[in-house]
A and B are shown apart, each in its own frame.
Chain A
């Protein structure tokens, strides 16, 4: 049994261990992927900025850092100020020539800084250590060399907010409940850690007291890649020591490298294994329960035997006390009492006086109750009425047994023989009572009764079948309920017959063995035998027996325990154990095959990845130049457009004010001239505004401001802007928009799209009207603007959303507009609002422009692409 349990425990342990190792391997693979992604992300990040600064450094204005160059630096800073904190030009001697935004460090020499010494010597891009700025954030400086021809002319550098970088590549790493990333620099500074107070300190200070970490940190500082296990104690009593699994790898950046570690706690690994472990535990649990049941039954059988022994002892005690009693009577030392019909004592002999502890004087004339008779017996019987009854009808109470009490309050049981004393006329004079102390006998009787009660209870309550048979002829005297239930014979059928008559023994040899053992040993313990029930079923049993005396006759107590189920369970368990072994073998073979397959596919994947990386690198170099050029272009357009707008605002402002007559009355011609100038300036402003928007979208620099809004309200707002033209052209307007549609999107950009649709509709419609409908489609909202205007020819459809493709030449409609409206609308709809735009049209009958956008512009949208 215990061997079997131990075997199962071993099996459990082996299974559990294997599953745990697999889980840890998987976790480390997952952690490595996270680490790689973050590392490549950070490498790309710096690669991109180095490329951008490189292109910038080749501009003559930047090399000279003249007024134009300083202006370009300002533009560069403004275009990237969400990413960079400053841009700085340093000369070949290490002195800061110009910095944006302006700071007092301008003119200062910084050649003493380690990374400056490196670039001044090596003339190659460098990255500084992470430092804490005076404003309190962590930052990194990136310096790129500036050359005129082949002559080194110092550096151009930017300061990058390290926290932005961390948020983007490191904060996102979350594995399980506790997994996180940690980054250290080559000199051991903790660049990033989600643990409070760690960032910026020396990693050795942070891991002080955890020797298991030092090996890993040393590996990291040597730029190695690997995996490690260590225990970590945060000093939190509730958490205690945590076992952690970590992987680490270097991040290569310009002149240096950092090392990233991705770490998870052991409980993350274990939590996934709980259900597996529980299933195994059920099997082990079943085995333990069997063991428990067997030992309980054994204990119960032992109790029964024990009770029988007690009963025998009690009986012996009884015989002993009876002997004592006889002696007492023979010695004639009895209590002799006389009392009258009023219950008063008239005589008590010396023995009685000694017995109760009263002198003759003290006791004579007193009532029996309250002196030698207590009011109430310990059994609860009231004695006062009994005494009255005896006095009234002494003839009925020839004998009675009641409890008495002596002077000291000790209670005794006395058996009384009462005789009536009559006077000469035959009247009852008094009662003569002779009493003997039977306290010992009474106690012995009680003990016997209790012991028999206990035996009876055990006899029926035990889960085993019990038979009491007469030793002389084997007739069954008593059987318990379990026997009746198990054999199918009723108590009446079994009593006064023998086991042979009942045909109870399946094999008569078993009976002979049992009887022989009883004769030689006096008792039998747990002999295996098979028994036949009334219906002919055969049961496996364990039979125990022992001789006893019931009343006066020698008897035999036989206990039969049914072990049929246990036998069956044992056989099944054996079967199951064999099956389990087969199963383990089978699974092991499967697992090996799977592992081989996996290795094979991993190899294939790896070679594929290598090919891909090669191709990617080639593509990257090709793309880089293109990207830099494109970004620079977009950046300049955005900034220059701002410069263009400022004077235009003045033109529009002043002409507007004059036109409104605020500077004095104008004649009609002056008014007309000014109105034309005013309209032209407004048109130019609209054009610039559209160009800015487009260039910003193309550069990926249009910021997104999602907010909760009512679609109906935004549509109403768009309608207001075209209301004057609608009125002027006498066009109808139908609005079919549900009131309750709520969106979470960029209000301004949605409004811009809707206004564009509406003003287009009004512009190209001379008769009829405009219809606006809005509908919800699952997670999207769809808004359509239908007009009854000139429509669009099929051959013009493809050009519709191209920039500066105005179709008016065909249509001979004089329309305003920048020619960028639909192009911009499409860009906003797809690139910013994450939706789509479509058009349906029949030439000469009108068009329907439809915008479909997601109702919830998800927060994860990456708006600050580089």
Chain B
């Protein structure tokens, strides 16, 4: 059973993503700030991370940078999540080192297919 770390400050969205992932058989870990999420990623080593880009303490891109320059490196795929994509967000995030990209409002099928692609499971 694969484990997902969800870093998201909005409680509704946290519940939504958690429920969706659990329906599809993933175990979940939750963090509501960037620092908490980064530390949890270091300690618990999830199989993949869903990272909200707008966080209260540090920006999502900063969390991503911290993860990539830590000992985790690129071993854990990170899927960035943003509210209505600003022009250029997608390119900015992918070039910053994100492996996947989800826009809110989330489309369950899109989310699951991205996860399966990145974790190497066939849909």
A860 at the interface (CB under 8 A from B): no
How far does the Cβ of B52 sit from chain A's closest Cβ, in whole Å? 11
16 CB-based A-B contacts, threshold 8 Å? A649-B106, A650-B10, A650-B13, A656-B107, A657-B19, A657-B23, A662-B20, A663-B19, A663-B23, A685-B105, A689-B84, A702-B87, A703-B87, A703-B88, A705-B91, A707-B91
With contacts A653-B105, A705-B88 known, is A645 near B83, CB below 8 A? yes
Chain B residues 76 to 94 lying within 8 A of chain A, measured CB to CB, are 83-84, 86-88, 91
How far does the Cβ of A744 sit from chain B's closest Cβ, in whole Å? 14
- A653 lies within 8 A of B13 (CB): yes
B16 at the interface (CB under 8 A from A): yes
Closest to A749 in B: B87
A650 CA to B19 CA, complexed, in Å: 13
- B87 lies within 8 A of A653 (CB): no
Closest to B107 in A: A656
Given the complex, which residues of A lie within 8 Å of B91, measured CB to CB? Answer: 705, 707
- A642 lies within 8 A of B87 (CB): no
How far does the Cβ of B16 sit from chain A's closest Cβ, in whole Å? 4
How far does the Cβ of B30 sit from chain A's closest Cβ, in whole Å? 16
A662 CA to B111 CA, complexed, in Å: 14
A724 at the interface (CB under 8 A from B): no
Known contacts A650-B10, A653-B13, A662-B108; can you find 18 more A-B pairs with CB under 8 A?
A645-B84, A645-B104, A649-B104, A649-B106, A650-B12, A650-B13, A652-B105, A653-B16, A654-B16, A657-B16, A662-B19, A662-B23, A663-B19, A685-B105, A703-B88, A705-B87, A748-B88, A749-B87
How far does the Cβ of A32 sit from chain B's closest Cβ, in whole Å? 40
A703 CA to B104 CA, complexed, in Å: 20
Chain B residues 54 to 111 lying within 8 A of chain A, measured CB to CB, are 83-84, 86-88, 91, 104-109
How far does the Cβ of B81 sit from chain A's closest Cβ, in whole Å? 10
How far does the Cβ of B87 sit from chain A's closest Cβ, in whole Å? 4
A704 CA to B16 CA, complexed, in Å: 33
Total A-B residue pairs with C-beta atoms closer than 8 Å? 61
A451 CA to B39 CA, complexed, in Å: 108
* Chain B residues within 8 Å of A, Cβ to Cβ: 10, 12-13, 16, 19-20, 23, 83-84, 86-88, 91, 104-109
Closest to A652 in B: B105
Residue total for A at the interface (Cβ-Cβ under 8 A): 27
Chain A residues 632 to 670 lying within 8 A of chain B, measured CB to CB, are 642, 645-650, 652-654, 656-657, 660, 662-663
A163 at the interface (CB under 8 A from B): no
A780 at the interface (CB under 8 A from B): no
Which residue of the partner chain, among A642, A660, A746, contacts B83 with CB atoms under 8 Å?
Answer: A642
A702 CA to B87 CA, complexed, in Å: 9
Counting from the closest, the 5 A-B pairs by CB-CB distance are A652-B105, A705-B88, A650-B12, A748-B87, A649-B104
A689 CA to B103 CA, complexed, in Å: 13
How far does the Cβ of B116 sit from chain A's closest Cβ, in whole Å? 16
How far does the Cβ of A610 sit from chain B's closest Cβ, in whole Å? 44
Given the complex, which residues of B lie within 8 Å of A647, measured CB to CB? Answer: 12
A445 CA to B27 CA, complexed, in Å: 124
Given the complex, which residues of B lie within 8 Å of A645, measured CB to CB? Answer: 83-84, 104
Closest to A678 in B: B105
With contacts A649-B105, A653-B105, A657-B108 known, is A746 near B12, CB below 8 A? no
Which residue of the partner chain, among A649, A682, A704, A707, contacts B13 with CB atoms under 8 Å?
Answer: A649
How far does the Cβ of A99 sit from chain B's closest Cβ, in whole Å? 16
Given the complex, which residues of B lie within 8 Å of A689, measured CB to CB? Answer: 84
A689 CA to B84 CA, complexed, in Å: 8
Closest to A641 in B: B84
A649 CA to B15 CA, complexed, in Å: 13
Given the complex, which residues of B lie within 8 Å of A705, measured CB to CB? Answer: 87-88, 91
Given the complex, which residues of A lie within 8 Å of B13, measured CB to CB? Answer: 649-650, 653
A656 CA to B91 CA, complexed, in Å: 27
